[in-house]
Structure 1
Amino acid sequence: MKNKKFALAALVGLFGMTGTASAALPELGLSQKVPGDIYAGAQYQIISDDVVDLGSATLVAGYKHQLAPKIAVGPELKLGFGIGDDQVGSNQQVELDLSLNTMMSAGVRGEYQFNEKFKAFTSLTYANFDLEATLKDKVSGQSASASDDQWEFGYGVGLSYEVVNNLDIVTSYETYASGDIDLLSIGLSYKL
């Protein structure tokens, strides 16, 4: 009997979860719901320290595994690209600008669902910030650039609210181990 259920479930999986095939799963004692969700989204992030504020357009992808009815945990990846730059210093002769080339991170996110629409989460993250500094000579018009990247451990908290079916608005705050970098973000996330 178990072999027949397994074979039928394999056929349903092979030919797709549509029509009468997916309706037959509960009769076999099988569920068509996987205990987790894949999501993807986009965010605008403000990355700041004591001196500068930099913007980033960021892509987000993750997976939430349900540990309990209201608790989920899973990995999350982010890839961000700098938007604009910030002037660090300037006088009559020189100007120093700082910009973000890329930001990427990998982390673990834990989530608590208060109700069908509202969730809170916390995250532990390992991130890389690739920055570029440009020194411009206002008199001669010449400039020189240098870039550097740094890896940082961080943690954060956030809120998520489902505005329409499978589409959430998400906001979060993260801080990184050096204590110098804070990240504030707002964006959208879609459950695939």
Structure 2
Amino acid sequence: MNRLLIAVFIAFASFKGYANWAIGFNYTELSESGEIDVNVSAISASLAYAFPIGDKLSIVPEIKYGLGVGDDSSANGALNIDLEVNHLFGASIRAQYDVAETVYMFASVSHLTVDSRLIFSSSSSSESDTSNDFGAGIGAGWLIFESTSIELSYERFDDTNVFSAGFRYAF
């Protein structure tokens, strides 16, 4: 599935030229509330291509890959649990609307795969887990230089809230 998404992404981008590419770097917080509250973080890099549909509207497919940088610990009775994010992979399609010359907003649908590990300190054992979820989100970007923007976004995947902040460079 991941190879297919990348192949389709490259095929669509190749016929339009190379002027609408963008790379991005984000810091992401993932949080989930339930029996045990979980808050972990990751850094990620993304590659996107903008397909203009009009003067102010674009469709932007994007792929991202990230690594966990912030773990979480929790206690459930006598059991202490540590959660680590090993890596994440995501693919999304967003509709981006230019509100002004330097401000844009977007809405997206996404698929996110998170590979994580639970470590049980009382028994010195661990368990790996991979979650695959579809979600949706919104965000905004501000152009701070000719080709560089700052972005903030919120996405929801099942019971997981994802907040991201980062920058994007278009070329």
- TM (norm. structure 2) is 0.84
Structure in which a larger fraction of residues adopt helix: 1
Structure in which a larger fraction of residues adopt strand: 2
Give the ranges of 4+ consecutive aligned residues of structure 1 lying more than 6 Å apart after TM superposition.
none
Question: Match for residue 169 of structure 1?
Answer: 150
Matched residue of 1:96: which SS?
A: strand
Counterpart CA distance in 1 for 2:17 and 2:127 is 48
Matched residue of 2:118: which SS?
A: strand
Counterpart CA distance in 2 for 1:37 and 1:129 is 28
How far 1:90 sits from its partner (Å)? 5.7
- TM (norm. structure 1) is 0.75
Question: Match for residue 86 of structure 2?
Answer: 101
Report the residue type matching 1:108 in the other structure. I
Aligned length: 153
RMSD between aligned residues: 1.7
Counterpart CA distance in 2 for 1:125 and 1:84 is 22
Counterpart CA distance in 2 for 1:84 and 1:186 is 15
| Structure of greater Rg | 1
Counterpart CA distance in 1 for 2:76 and 2:132 is 28
Within the alignment, does 1:144 sit opposite 2:133 as a pair?
Answer: no
Identical-pair percentage: 27
Q: Which has the higher contact order (CA 8 A, sep 6+)?
A: 2
Matched residue of 1:116: which SS?
A: coil
Gaps of 5+ in 2: 1-15
Aligned pair in 2 of structure 1 residues 36, 122: CA closer, same or farther (>3 Å)? farther
Correspondent of 2:41 among 32, 55, 60: 55
Question: Match for residue 76 of structure 1?
Answer: 62
